[in-house]
Amino acid sequence: MAGDNRANQDSLKAFFDKKVAVYNQVSFIKDDPICIPHLFSKKQDIEIAGFFASIFAWGNRTTIIQKSKELMQLMDNAPHQFCVAHQESDLKKLLAFKHRTFNTTDLLYFIEFLKAHYSAHESLEAAFCLSPDNNPAARLHHFHQYFFSLPDAPPRTKKHIATPSKGSTCKRLNMYLRWMVRKDNKGVDFGIWNTIKPSELICPIDLHVARVAKRFQLLDRTKIDWQAGLELTQYLKTLDPKDPVKYDFALFGLGVIEKYV
């Protein structure tokens, strides 16, 4: 029986590796929100553009990309320079910006946070490395606390930065971390952060990914929450302990692009 399980797992790994190879290539970029940070070459621009694109990433991908590009244009296609050096008058052109429930109040606070952070740190990576506990939940919990540590942080904006302490899957933040942390030679993920290891990432999970995971019996948990992401990632580590989240390409491709289930 154990041999059958091993053979089944080997077969599944081969299938998933094949799907990763299909989607983890440069041709994937143009239709995915990751195309937004790929517009830039400066590290801080990549970080900021990627952060906004990931936060906007719910709903239709075409709209996500369009709204992200619109914001980058409003920031003169130099998001780091805009965030750290803008004048009060420069913010006026942002006042009409809106993406779904993300409005001007949220945007202005995000920019205020980024200005404060980059005045003290060279990279946004530092914001995700504040926890004394080196585990994914603590990392995101401390990031949430840090992000909203400025005076007069708007309560309404808190819904846009997820935290495991509220049971959220933190799908968008986990996706952002994948973009910044994963290192390979495929040209999709950036791999520009070094403190967090690819083996420490959590697979981004939403309804599409969860359906595929359940179809292949990778996930037992019914509720799609933080624990579901941990359970799925734990299984993916049996396929590749050093880079489990590369299988996000396979799960996403099967669920969203191929509509496998």
| pLDDT score of 8 | 79
Give the other-Cβ count within 10 Å of 99's Cβ.
20
Looking at residue 2, its pLDDT comes to 43
- % of the chain exceeding 70 in pLDDT: 97
Please tell me the predicted confidence (pLDDT) of residue 64: 97
Q: How confident is the model at residue 7 (pLDDT cuts 50, 70, 90)?
A: low
The C-alpha atoms of residue 65 and residue 22 are separated, in whole angstroms, by: 22
CA distances (Å), origin 200, targets 44, 172, 182, 242: 23, 16, 10, 8
What average pLDDT does this structure show over 99-128?
97
Residue 147 predicted with pLDDT over 60: yes
As a whole number, mean pLDDT of residues 116-123 equals 97
Across the range 47-61, mean pLDDT stands at 95
Q: Are 113 and 150 in contact (CB under 8 A)?
A: yes
- Average pLDDT (185-207) is 96
Task: State mean pLDDT over 187-207.
Answer: 97
Given a cut of 60, whether residue 34 has pLDDT beyond it is yes
Looking at residue 1, its pLDDT comes to 43
**Mean pLDDT of the residues in the chain:** 94
Average pLDDT estimate for 140-153: 96
Task: Judge whether 91 and 110 are in contact, CB under 8 Å.
Answer: no
Average pLDDT over residues 42-60: 96
Closest residue by Cα to residue 175 from 241, 249, 232: 249
Average pLDDT over residues 195-203: 97
Q: Averaged over 116-140, what is the pLDDT?
A: 94
pLDDT given at position 6 = 59
Q: Taking the model in full, what pTM does it have? A: 0.95
146-175 mean pLDDT: 96
SS (H, E, C) the chain: CHHHHHHHHHHHHHHHHHHHHHHCCHHHHHHCHHHCHHHCCCHHHHHHHHHHHHHCCCCCHHHHHHHHHHHHHHCCCCHHHHHHHCCHHHHHHHCCCCECCECHHHHHHHHHHHHHHHHHCCCHHHHHCCCCCCCHHHHHHHHHHHHCCCCCCCHHHHHHCCCHHHCCCCHHHHHHHHHHHCCCCCCCCCCCCCCCCHHHCCCCCCHHHHHHHHHCCCCCCCCCCHHHHHHHHHHHHHHCCCCHHHHHHHHHHHHHHCCCC
CA distance 256 to 191: 24
pLDDT digits (tens, 9 = 90+) for 62-101: 999 999 999 999 999 999 999 999 999 999 999 999 999 9
Is pLDDT of 42 > 50? yes
Q: What percent of the chain has pLDDT over 90?
A: 89
